[in-house]
Amino acid sequence: MSDGARIDRFLEMMAAERGASRNTLAAYARDLTQAAELMKATLGDAGLEDLRGLMASYRGLAASSAARKLSALRQFYAFLVDEGDRADNPTLDIARPSTRRPLPRILSHNHVDALFAAAEEEASGEHPPRAAVRMLLMLELLYGSGLRASELVSLPRRSVQASGEFVMIRGKGDKDRLVPLSQRSRRVMDRWLPHIASDSAWLFPSGKSHLSRIRLYQLLRELAARAGVDPMAVSPHVLRHAFATHLLEGGADLRALQMMLGHADIATTEIYTHVDSARLVELVNKRHPLAHMDAVRGR
């Protein structure tokens, strides 16, 4: 069987059995097709030395890119083993390129306060501009609920639950999750809904579709400039990071945060614990039984 046919079968399995998204399937297809082109032997029949030579050709790539390509190969060969096309998975003997997940950029509480102060002032009054109310609601949802930019702009109008306490999000991998709305967000939502048609498909309509991610970035950075915050330090993703970090600082449970952010792996959520080190040290010093023993002994 040709490599192309094997790759097609693998992609069909990933789509049907694992529900892989279109973007994930496209990435697997690119990585495996490229590997087949670089490999001297047939990809499906390659041995350990063939694959070591292939990974050596990836040395010029970022470690994260090489690791992604190895992950695609591992899953591909695991599929071939399951299908009985080969007896072993040679990638299991290849070390994963070491990667270091970059720490997220976050905004300070003062910067967040400045953004909200500017947005709330612009949306105040008896008849505030429609765009100002929209901007305030988008800010509330980005920082108050931790939505991704793509999730925010593509929110259907019907995603807002009847109770007003949750919003239904279609996230990565087309997975749905319920995200709680703060009381602040619900109040601004009530102010925004009269500005859009009752039969609108989108919560943030624009032209024949919804607001674009690029326009969202532009609006946020324009707001940051008016608020006296460096526009280059502000983006939807930075506000999502701030939501997670500040929630952890307030004592949020990591599992609950994982659900709200829509992370498939809690290891992705754990990156936010880096900013909480000071609170953890204080917790040990004040709450650990040994701290109470010291207090009793008068130390």
Which of 68, 148, 186, 210 is catalytic? The answer is: 148
SS (H, E, C) 95-106: CCCCCCCCCCCC
- Catalytic: 105? no
Which of 9, 86, 172, 187 is catalytic? The answer is: 172
- Catalytic: 240? yes
Which of 69, 134, 240, 241 is catalytic? The answer is: 240
Which of 28, 58, 143, 272 is catalytic? The answer is: 272
- Catalytic: 210? no
Nearest to 54 by CA among 62, 45, 65, 43: 43
Q: In whole angstroms, what is the distance from residue 169 CA to residue 159 CA?
A: 7
Angle between helices 63-82 and 48-56 (to 10 degrees): 160
| DSSP, res 150 | H
Q: How far is C-alpha 250 from the chain's CA centre?
A: 21
- Catalytic: 263? yes
- Catalytic: 226? no
- Catalytic: 143? no
Tell me the residue length of the chain: 299
Q: In whole angstroms, what is the distance from residue 183 CA to residue 294 CA?
A: 43
Which of 263, 274, 279, 286 is catalytic? The answer is: 263
Active-site residue set: 148, 172, 237, 240, 263, 272
